Amino acid sequence: MASEENSLLAVPTAHEAIYGRFAPDQKRWIVFHVSFAGLLAMFVQVTFVPSIPQIAKDLDSTHAVVSLALSLSVFANAIGALCWSSYSSFYGRRSIYLWGMPFLCVGSCGVALSTSLQSLLFWRFVQMFGCAGALSLGSGVIGDIYKLEERGTAIGIFFSVTLLGFTFAPFVGGAATQYWSWRNLHYSIGAWGLLEMLFIYLSFPETSHPGTLGIDKLPFRRRIHIKWINPLSSLWLLRSPNLFAVMLASALMVNTMYVLLVPIAKTIGVRYGITNDAIIGAFFLPNGLGCFGGTLVGGRLSDIVVRKWREKRRGAYCPEDRLRATWIGGLLLVPLSVGASGLITTYIGGPTGLALNILCLYANGVGVELVLNPTNSYNVDIVHSRSAEAAAACMASWSLIMSVATALIIPTIERIGVAWTDIIAAGLAVIGQGMIFLTIRYGDSMRASIDVGFSIMENN
């Protein structure tokens, strides 16, 4: 069990050398690779939303029925993340990237060729399953190559590039639907996946620490060794109070983003008379730009906080110190932005109300990422040997929680109004920040209650 304070002076030279396997330029190239894969995965997820009305028209279906593909996408994303991360601990990061991309390419072509709702749902599942591991694998790769004190900044860069997809994909999806073809869009995504698979095959090295992969520990290894690994085993990490509390708190923060963005055509669109799909998609830009800036600031801030508190502790390390970087986002920006947006949409019309809503969308993106970056880095820190699995368990849980939450958002708005819906989301975000506070305050005793293989400074 990891104690609250572990002397940094005792870090073995051999362990330090693990992070020196790659030169700085090589590390930046690796981060570029995983960021590019994450950007692709985000495009796959988000470009689908603005095209739903056109897909419904082409397949002679309804908006509500085609929206089932969103729920299926969330489920595929959760299952895929768990599968790919679990197998990456056995076969390695590089192999799993190469195995996932063909699913994405074939699934994208299948979506583009779909002539019925049944085929659309099937191929959308395959498509999302193929790219589902990008975020958790990327977090694991960065944990493999960067030391503790550098990890938050590197994860911030990774997520900032990834979130460019969240920023621009809705606009691209809306514009492609309006002026091109949603089918051609998915053919393009398939070609992008093929290009990424080629890049990884030619120039992406295995980053897992030598001797740590499951396949390396086998006494006898066949030429083609296939092993069954239970993908749900990663979820068992969440029996740790620390990981569960941070996961739930993060989900409540992400929920505020969904509350603002999922019904945006019904809230901001209807309130301010906007009907064009491309313009509705463009309203994702402020939130995405906020996420981009917030994750860069959040990553560097969390590393600064870790170093500052180590100095205060005279060189001793407490993993929960990284979570102290969440206060500005979790207690101020997130709840205030979503609560204010609901009130502005309800009571302020015209260009003034629209401008203030855009500001709230931006502030919400910054605030959410000021929380998510430190919490994602914390997950990698405390279960370093299973970092990709810890990230996948949290992201899969978010997906499952959000699949329920997104189904409730529009009915809730219709029943009690956008103002009260947003205020409730803001209150839940404050509760989430309270969970993070308790984890900071009682983290050591929480880790002592259930040990899931926590890392200590000597192997982190």
What are 181-194's pLDDT values in tens digits?
A: 788 888 988 999 99
The model's pLDDT over 381-390, given as tens digits with 9 standing for 90+, comes to: 788 767 777 8
Give mean pLDDT, residues 86-106.
Answer: 86
Average pLDDT, the chain: 82
**Distance of alpha carbon 166 from alpha carbon 287, whole angstroms:** 9
pLDDT at 407 over 80: no
Domain 8-212+233-459 has CATH 1.20.1250.20: yes
Amino acid at 330: G
Residue 222: predicted pLDDT: 62
Give mean pLDDT, residues 42-59.
Answer: 78
Quick one: tokens of 429? 């975000």
pLDDT at 427 over 50: yes
Whether residue 26 contacts residue 207, with contact meaning beta carbons closer than 8 Å, is answered with no
Lowest mean pLDDT among 72-76, 174-178, 220-224, 351-355: 220-224
First CA to last CA distance, the chain: 13
Torsional sign, CA 119, 120, 123, 129: negative
φ/ψ bin of 51: left (φ > 0), alpha (ψ from -120 to 50), beta (otherwise): alpha
With tokens 């093929």, the residue in question is 194
Quick one: tokens of 389? 């699995």
| Residue 64 pLDDT level (bands cut at 50, 70, 90) | low
The model's pLDDT over 328-339, given as tens digits with 9 standing for 90+, comes to: 999 999 999 999
Quick one: tokens of 424? 């409730």
pTM of the model: 0.77
**Strand partners of residue 6:** 317
pLDDT at 6 over 50: no
**Distance of alpha carbon 305 from alpha carbon 4, whole angstroms:** 16
The H or E element spanning position 7 is: strand 6-7
Domain limits, the chain: 8-212+233-459
| Residue 176 pLDDT level (bands cut at 50, 70, 90) | confident
pLDDT at 165 over 60: yes
Q: Which residues contact 294 (CB under 8 A, 6 or more apart)?
A: 329, 365, 366, 367, 368, 369, 370, 373
The model's pLDDT over 194-235, given as tens digits with 9 standing for 90+, comes to: 998 998 888 888 887 776 666 666 666 666 666 767 777 778
pLDDT at 1 over 50: no
pLDDT at 277 over 70: no
| Residue 10 pLDDT level (bands cut at 50, 70, 90) | very low
The 8 Å CB, 24+ separation contacts for 109-114 are 109/186, 109/187, 109/190, 111/186, 112/183, 112/184, 112/185, 112/186, 112/187, 112/190, 113/183, 114/59
Does residue 11 sit in helix, strand or coil?
Answer: coil
pLDDT at 457 over 80: no
User: Per mean pLDDT, which of 31-40, 59-68, 291-300 is the most reliable?
Assistant: 31-40
Residue 366: predicted pLDDT: 92
**Distance of alpha carbon 369 from alpha carbon 297, whole angstroms:** 9
Q: Any idea how long the chain is?
A: 460
Residue 455: predicted pLDDT: 65
What does the radius of gyration of the chain's CA atoms come to, in whole angstroms? 22
pLDDT at 110 over 80: yes
Listed residue (177, 175, 189, 157) closest to 42, CA to CA? 189
pLDDT at 360 over 70: yes
Residue 278: predicted pLDDT: 67
Give mean pLDDT, residues 63-74.
Answer: 71
Residue 75: predicted pLDDT: 79
Quick one: tokens of 272? 């301010």
Lowest mean pLDDT among 225-234, 235-244, 249-258, 265-274: 225-234
pLDDT at 460 over 60: no
Whether residue 440 contacts residue 324, with contact meaning beta carbons closer than 8 Å, is answered with yes
Does residue 290 sit in helix, strand or coil?
Answer: helix
pLDDT at 12 over 70: no
Residue 73: predicted pLDDT: 78
Q: What is the DSSP-derived secondary structure letter of residue 316? A: E
Lowest mean pLDDT among 50-64, 123-137, 230-244, 361-375: 50-64
Q: What percent of the chain has pLDDT over 90?
A: 22
| Residue 15 pLDDT level (bands cut at 50, 70, 90) | low
